[in-house]
Amino acid sequence: MVPLPPHVGDTSEQVELSTWADETIASLSGGQAHRASLACALVGDPEVLLLDEPTVGLDPLTRQALWYQFRELADRGTALFISSHVMDEAMRCDSTLVMREGQFLAHAPMEQIMKETSTATPEDAFVELIRRDGSCAQH
């Protein structure tokens, strides 16, 4: 096996995978594989990181650990763009862009969107925005 470059080791520590750094992706659990994917994205120390549904199918502990990592990245200046159908994840973001069928419905912190829609949860806010937009087609 080829030794890992030094900065890769730092990245595996950052996502709490250093114990499994010599393993193949196929031998990792689902949560570990997600963290390995994030580690690959972080190797180049990107200024911008696009993540598509990064927590789908993860157990609550792994999901929470990943969100902790996302917050650390954002606090260090990395711009993260995260797509998700898990509406409560929007509460963890500094700003939320709500879209439906390619249309922008809102762009603000989720707490502000909930206040403007007079709703108590991110999911209710999303449904209210759709209702107001008139795009409530049955699916």
Q: How many helices (H) and strands (E) does the chain have?
A: 5, 4
Find the length of the chain. 139
Helix intervals (H) in 15-59:
30-42
Kindly report, residue by residue over 38-78, the tens digit of the pLDDT. 888 888 788 999 999 888 877 888 788 889 889 988 999 99
Q: What is the DSSP letter of 5?
A: P
Strand intervals (E) in 47-108: 48-52, 79-83, 96-100, 103-108
SS3 32: helix
Level-2 CATH architecture, domain 1-83: 3-Layer(aba) Sandwich (3.40)
- What is the reported pLDDT for 5? 54
User: What is the rounded CA–CA span in Å between residue 122 and residue 87?
Assistant: 6
Average pLDDT over residues 76-81: 94
- What is the reported pLDDT for 8? 59
The amino acid occupying position 88 is: D
CB 130 within 8 A of CB 96: no
Kindly report, residue by residue over 121-135, the tens digit of the pLDDT. 999 999 999 998 875
Q: Within a 13 Å sphere around the CA of 97, how many CA atoms are in the beta-carbon half?
A: 9
Higher-confidence residue of 104 and 8: namely 104
Domain locations in the chain? 1-83, 85-138
- What is the reported pLDDT for 97? 94
